[in-house]
Structure 1
Amino acid sequence: PARLSEGAQMFANRLQKNFKQLGKWARREKVDCYRVYDADMPEYALAVDLYHDWVHVQEYAAPRSIDPDKAQARLLDALSAIPQALGVDQQRVVLKRRERQTGTRQYERQATEGRFQEVSEGGVKLLVNLTDYLDTGLFLDHRPMRLRIQREAAGKRFLNLFCYTATASVHAAKGGARSTTSVDLSKTYLDWARRNLSLNGFSERNRLEQGDVMAWLENAQDSYDLIFIDPPTFSNSKRMEGVFDVQRDHVQLLDLAMARLAPGGVLYFSNNFRKFQLDEHLATRYAVEEISAQTLDPDFARNNRIHRAWQLRLR
């Protein structure tokens, strides 16, 4: 192991402290993947996530005012500290850079290793890929929401919009959902979703639909008892008409989805756009409750702006 610089040692100390505290919670809750560090020290602007015995590091792009050489030196410091602090092989540390994504870059492959690994959460097995895309196939901050869906799904018809790799649908199926329907525009993610479902022995009564969510909802006829919507901040895929913008389009999205909600049902809506404001007129049509604080586990308690979440019911 390299001898750490003073800064790297401070970073390592913070990492070890977090790891010790969160590790106890993770073992107790049988959580396999969790966030250990999220830019706790401003000069080390990284998110560090443990995926079983691998570490996924995301570097937040430094502001223009920061000297690039200094930023690079700090990154190398952090990368030398992580294996020592967390007791992992440095070959199992994956680094990515998070920047503001534009156009279709948000969906581009980062690599083509095709290496999937199994992780577990709430009694289900899920596949993650730490190298090939910016995101890993599992949004760690939504863990409490997935577990809530699992608890509430028994006997219900579940609809998962912008389903990504359909991890919430796997949880719903595990919880005894009567059926699950998962909609996404990406064939890649739906193939991944199919693998997630079959890994847990689920295939029957679990529909995967490729399509633009807005267009799909406009043509939908069925009713659902439990709906989950976690849209991207924006999307401009070649397969859809126009551009989806969560701030501009969320009222239309929620109205369309609430039209498919069965009496007595519940819709969960979340998103991670930092400046998002829920349209106040929605509360005149539906019973709306913000539940953001209930949807954060201890590993995201330090960053309570990671996402916001609401529960909607028919009046």
Structure 2
Amino acid sequence: MTDASKFTMFENRLVKVFRHLQKTARRQNITCYRVYDDDIPEFPFSIEIYEEYVYVAEYHRKHNMEEEAHEQWLDDCMEVVAKVLQMPLENIFIKQRQRKENRQSQYEKLSFEKHEFTVHEAGLNFKVNLSDYLDTGLFLDHRITRGMVRAEAQDKQVLNLFCYTGSFSVYAAAGGARSVTSVDLSKTYLAWAEDNMRLNNFDMKAHHFVHADVLQYLDTLTPNSFDLVVVDPPTFSNSKRMKDFLDIQRDHVSLLNKVLAATKPGGIVYFSNNYRRFVLEQEQIQASSIKDITSQTLPFDFQQKMIRKCYKIVK
């Protein structure tokens, strides 16, 4: 197959999926969504729209191109993306990412352009940064899960562990939570979470931001403290700031049992992770019910490719 025909194939695929997804997004009043995810092996991209901008992540693979040829190929690909999505080239941001990354790689700054702006989801405001990190600040695949947390949060004491930029915290506060405690090991992301709460004009005195290793922090909690907990850990984390490294398959039972100890009877824990081969060791978890809600939490733009698992656990 010639290069020209490959680019035509890429363009045709992008036209097809964009036409379909754009209609659904408009109908649901969604302005940030994924339009392509590694659909064609020769074009290993994730492509997401953030209102007036496009974020493209190129998955790392052996392409056997010299650096200059690869740059030209990328430029040609972005011309196709700009044409199909009807976006100016200067509104497209591109990053390279590995197939396997730990949470630490999210924290590492790749650039200092600081292209930050506010996007909107479900009537709420979120700061995104498309230039400086591997991730944008808003995980689009948890859109429905965030809505579930909002629906459950009224008058609740909410705990958001591995909170990243606090999008679950914002939804909980919007749902009328009495208080939201957000915990993360990164000061950068905790500050970002505070920014997101302020963007939505919440009373900051009611909410707490804790810089801590989650595994150690859980040991400090009073039993039966929280009504609603969100746990969205990395698959692996070996940050120098952690006492121990985290392996979610190995450690999820002890992690969840510590979380449940801090949860009030009848309280709800939403637990998700991105490990492809994850198996929940249900019998060892001290809960009254555990429901796999992965399929219920899949947004329209992730129907074809969703590797994360999601569970609703009741103490």
Q: Shorter-chain TM-score: what band?
A: over 0.9
Note the residue ranges of structure 1 that are not aligned, 5 or more in a row. Answer: none
Aligned residue for 1:220, secondary structure, equals: coil
Equivalents in 1 of 2:175, 2:275: separation in Å? 29
* Number of residue pairs aligned between Structure 1 and Structure 2: 308
The percentage of counterpart residues that share the same residue type is 43
Offset from partner CA, 1:152-190 (integer Å, 9 cap, x none): 211111110000001100011111111111100111001
Cα separation, partners in 2 of 1:161 and 1:283, compared to 1, 3 Å = closer
Cα separation, partners in 2 of 1:37 and 1:103, compared to 1, 3 Å = closer
Offset from partner CA, 1:116-143 (integer Å, 9 cap, x none): 1100001100000001110111111111
Equivalents in 2 of 1:157, 1:165: separation in Å? 19
Question: Where do 1:6-155 residues align within 5 Å?
Answer: 6-62=5-61, 64=62, 66-68=63-65, 75-99=74-98, 100-101=100-101, 104-155=104-155
Shift of 1:6: 2.8
Aligned residue for 1:128, secondary structure, equals: strand
Mean Cα deviation higher: 274-283 or 87-96? 274-283
Cα separation, partners in 2 of 1:254 and 1:103, compared to 1, 3 Å = closer
Question: Where do 1:134-213 residues align within 5 Å?
Answer: 134-202=134-202, 203-213=204-214
Asked if the contact 2:145/2:297 (under 8 Å) is kept, the reply is: yes
Q: In structure 2, give the amino acid aligned to 1:188.
A: T
Equivalents in 2 of 1:233, 1:146: separation in Å? 20
Shift of 1:102: 6.0
Q: In structure 2, give the amino acid aligned to 1:150.
A: R
Aligned residue for 1:204, secondary structure, equals: helix
Asked if the contact 2:153/2:177 (under 8 Å) is kept, the reply is: yes
Shift of 1:284: 6.6
Shift of 1:22: 1.0
Asked if the contact 2:106/2:135 (under 8 Å) is kept, the reply is: no
Aligned residue for 2:183, secondary structure, equals: strand
Asked if the contact 2:106/2:133 (under 8 Å) is kept, the reply is: no
Equivalents in 2 of 1:209, 1:16: separation in Å? 44
Offset from partner CA, 1:275-301 (integer Å, 9 cap, x none): 211113235754111110011111000
- The normalised TM-score by structure 1 is 0.92
Asked if the contact 1:183/1:208 (under 8 Å) is kept, the reply is: yes
Residue in structure 2 matched with residue 219 of structure 1 by the alignment? 220
Shift of 1:95: 0.8
Kindly report the root-mean-square deviation, in angstroms, between the aligned alpha carbons of the 2 structures.
1.9
Cα separation, partners in 2 of 1:116 and 1:72, compared to 1, 3 Å = closer
Q: Given the alignment of the two structures, is residue 245 of structure 1 paired with residue 242 of structure 2, yes or no?
A: no
Shift of 1:246: 1.0
Shift of 1:73: 6.4
- The normalised TM-score by structure 2 is 0.92
The one of 291, 297, 300 aligned to 1:298: 300
Equivalents in 1 of 2:48, 2:73: separation in Å? 18
Aligned residue for 2:219, secondary structure, equals: helix
The one of 256, 259, 262 aligned to 1:260: 262
Mean Cα deviation higher: 132-141 or 276-285? 276-285
Shift of 1:74: 5.2
The one of 230, 234, 237 aligned to 1:235: 237
Q: Given the alignment of the two structures, is residue 277 of structure 1 paired with residue 276 of structure 2, yes or no?
A: no
Note the residue ranges of structure 2 that are not aligned, 5 or more in a row. Answer: none
Asked if the contact 1:44/1:75 (under 8 Å) is kept, the reply is: no
Q: In structure 2, give the amino acid aligned to 1:25.
A: T
Shift of 1:231: 0.2
Asked if the contact 2:102/2:237 (under 8 Å) is kept, the reply is: no
